[in-house]
Structure 1
Amino acid sequence: MKKTILAALLPAMLVAGTAQAATIYQGEDGSNVDVFGRLGFNVTNRDNNEDTSKTIGQFDGRLGLGGSQTINDQMSVIGWAEYQVNAAEGKNGNKDLTARYVWAGVDMGSMGKVTAGRVASGLIMATDIADVFALSDVTLARQAGIVNGNATQVFRQDDTLQYQNSFGDFDLSAAYILGNEHMKSGYNVAGRYTLDMGNAGKLAPVVAYQQNNAEDNRTDNADKYDFWAVGTRYYIGDLMLGAVYSQDKVSYTNNTDASEDKGYELTAVYDFQNDWVVRGGYRNVENTGGDNAEYKDLTAEVQYKLTDRSSLFTSYVNRNGQNGENGQNTNIWGDWNNAKEDYYHVGLRYEF
């Protein structure tokens, strides 16, 4: 049976990694152990140089393991660990495995889930509207790491205590981020409502907010990080359309101007003939007060499904932006994300 785009891309809640995992052990009491893996190889001319780009190869690997242990007929202990895997033997020092998600928690059934650690943030409900391409390159919340150095934008960050639940067609996530050497504390909240309009399709609007408070007397004078986003996805048959607007701002304790990103992203995904998916998107992000970077990108991508879990991808990105300027707290992505560099990408992805 042909899977609709809705079934493939609209999970009931946020279960990054675990959604694709295969169960390798199932106990009589319902306990289970799951494993997930992803291996890929990409050919691209993206080398952070718009003038003299060369074709390079890139390996992409992920490995995840987790599961659940039954407490009673309503509750279970759950956990998940997922790592990015580097390929160059002996060349990556101590970074051969990079933690993406490492968390444990309790699934309380209809009362929701509580997880703690480096969790899949509820704000993914908003960022996923833009994150539809195989060569992931999301600019939303790109400044989060200035205040919290262990944050990967707002997708995931250490020391997070999170609650998630679904109430009918409404999905809710709320989290408290404990302090670390970079920040005092933080919190985030996100909500999504899925409106079923019958033959007219489904609409899934999302709102999200996060705030991080920096430690006192930091050498960079960072004080606070704020992010908010509003967006929606629209599904009809095998077509998905998405739009999201976001702002993120880093405030400082001295007379330094706040660094603020404002931007929007538009995406379209169409699944046809069971085996083919085409995607397109446009991004417009501008910074004021910080590095003054601009990201203005057009992206086109085609996916061919070799199996249910493995695919070939090819994409092209046309970029007409402006790289960040040198100076204090600038060039956030200057070492890898050249806003002027057009590039292509061809890749094979195998999942198990």
Structure 2
Amino acid sequence: MKRTNLSLLVCSLLAASSVNAVTLYQGENGDKVDLVGSFEVGGYFGKDYNDNGERWEYDSYYTDDTFMSYGIRVQTGHVYSHLDLDFERQTWTKENEFQMVLDKAYVGWQFDNGDKLEFGRTDTAYDHYDQMGDFSVDGAGEVREAGDQDATLKYRGSFNSFKYGISYSTQGWDHYKTDSRVGEVVNGYFGYFGDNVDVLVAAETVDERGDIYSLHARGFIGPVRLGGFVSQYDAEEREADDTSDALLYVASAGYDFNDKLALNVVYTKVDVDTETREMGDDGFRLWIDDSWVSTGLVYNYRSNIKMKVEFVTGGEQGSYGYSKVYYWF
């Protein structure tokens, strides 16, 4: 299921929402309870296949990809907790029906230096930076690491210009109801974040399934932005007994016309050694040698409202558009 770009965006929006969050309670000692949320209204135009490469059950020029999230954050001294409910379209199924899932339910401890230790249902460490270097809205290829996991212990910290994180999840996949995957998951990242250049490496291993590695970078020169990543995917597929050995390349370029309007162009290439899906009447192979380009415009109406339009061309899915309005508090 294609949730990586989406989850990365939602995480960034909720992180930014600390300024816009609705405070339900604030004590004299600094304890507080915040209500946070996000709305994403829009979807695909002219896309014939879902995220697993299968044709939709219905013929429709427009495919809805609306998403909503509501959460409660509680801070008491060094201790904090977060409960999050997501309402989402199932764009990885043929029916694309709405579902509600428990996205997050965890408690954490924030150290005096800003480092964080969390336990519960939460994003794995890798998930925080899995699309670093990708400037697209939804059209680029994605690193296929684990997303939200049950029973996850995670530590994230920093020193000087470096950031790092590691997580261990004891439980896995629940049949595509969430981002969870099969088996025990261990992943992490380590990166340098400078004034104009960021570089990060990340890796994941899933018990009895395989490994994923990636190298990410992005840089800023005035209004010009450059970025990209390379990911090696060597993990056993659910639908096949063999291994899908794939290299994913994503290269991004962006230009900021001003503080409100930006143009992004992203190139994706997939290089596969073992192709695990055969071409059929209901779709195409998910992992095949392929390449495509996405071009998009981003308009920042306000600090908590964005409008994004993207056009994707090339590759097995042909040409299609994607458009959304994002609002969060």
Q: Same fold (TM over 0.5)?
A: yes
Find the counterpart in structure 1 of residue 27 from structure 2: 27
In structure 2, what is the equivalent of residue 45 of structure 1?
46
1:243-282 matched pairs, under 5 angstroms = 243-251=228-236, 257-282=242-267
1:212 paired to 2:211? no
- For the residue of structure 1 that corresponds to 2:66, the secondary structure is strand
Query: In 2 relative to 1, CA 264–168 (structure 1 residues): closer, same or farther, beyond 3 Å?
Result: same
Q: CA deviation at 1:59?
A: 4.6
Residue 36 and residue 251 in structure 1: after superposition, are their counterparts in 2 closer, same or farther (change >3 A)?
closer
Residues 170, 185 of structure 2: 8 Å contact kept: yes
In structure 1, list runs of 5 or more residues that go unmatched. 1-10, 142-152, 197-201, 214-222, 321-338
- 1:16 to partner: Cα distance: 6.5
Distance, in Å, in 1 between the alignment partners of 2:96 and 2:46 is 25
Output the CA distance in 2 between the equivalents of 1:95 and 1:56: 16
1:124 equivalenced with 2:127 (yes/no): yes
Report deviation, 1:206.
Answer: 0.3
SS of the counterpart of 1:109? coil
Report the equivalent of 1:191: 190
User: Deviation at 1:251?
Assistant: 4.8
Match of residue 36 from structure 1: 37
1:86: Cα distance to partner?
4.9
Distance 1:66 1:131, change over 3 A: farther
CA gap of 1:37–1:257, structure 2 versus 1, over 3 A, is closer
CA distance in 1 between partners of 2:13 and 2:303 (Å): 18
Equivalenced residues, count:
287
The code of the aligned residue for 1:345 comes to: Y
2:83 is the counterpart of 1:84: no
1:267 Cα offset (Å): 1.1
RMSD: 3.2
Identify if the C-alpha distance between structure 1 residues 32 and 269 changes in structure 2 by more than 3 Å, giving closer, same or farther: farther
Amino acid at match of 1:61: F
User: Per-residue CA shift, 1:272-300, capped at 9, x if unaligned?
Assistant: 22221111100111222233523311010
Q: Are 1:341 and 2:326 counterparts?
A: no
* Partner Cα distance (2:236, 2:326) in 1: 40
The AA in structure 1 aligned to 2:39 is R
Residues 130, 98 of structure 1: alpha-carbon distance in 2 compared, 3 angstrom cutoff: farther
| Structure 2 CA distance for partners of 1:57 and 1:246, relative to 1, 3 Å | closer
* 1:96 and 2:90 are equivalent in the alignment: no
Q: 1:265 deviation in Å?
A: 0.5
- Is there any run of 5+ residues in structure 2 with no aligned partner, and where? 1-8, 50-54, 174-180, 278-286
Question: Separation in 2 of the partners of 1:186 and 1:259?
Answer: 18
* Mapped pair 1:56 → 2:56: no
SS in 1 for 2:246: strand
Displacement of 1:205 after TM fit?
0.6
Residue deviations 1:327-347, cap 9 Å, x none?
xxxxxxxxxxxx332111233
CA contact (8 A) 1:86 1:97 kept: no
Does residue 157 (structure 1) correspond to residue 149 (structure 2)? The answer is yes
In structure 2, relative to structure 1, the CA distance for the partners of 1:116 and 1:269 (3 Å cut) is farther
Q: Is the 8 A contact 1:82 1:102 kept in 2?
A: no
Q: 1:295 to 1:205 in 2, by over 3 A?
A: same
Q: Contact between 1:126 and 1:230, CA under 8 Å: does it hold in 2?
A: no
Residue type of the partner of 1:299? Answer: S
Which among 285, 296, 305 is matched to residue 300 of structure 2? Answer: 305
SS in 2 for 1:158: strand
After superposition, the Cα gap between the structure-2 partners of 1:296 and 1:94, relative to the gap in structure 1 and judged at 3 Å, is closer
Matched residue, 2:76: 70
Max Rg structure: 1
Superimposed CA distance per residue, residues 258-281 of structure 1 (whole angstroms, 9 cap, x where no aligned partner): 221112101123222222111110
- Deviation of 1:309 after TM superposition, in Å, equals 2.2
Query: 1:58 Cα shift?
Result: 1.5
Give me the whole-angstrom Cα distance separating, in 1, the residues matched to 2:227 and 2:13: 19
Q: Following TM superposition, by how much is the alpha carbon of 1:36 offset from its aligned partner in structure 2, in angstroms?
A: 1.9
Equivalent residue for 1:285? Answer: 270
8 Å contact 1:195–1:204 — kept in the other structure? yes
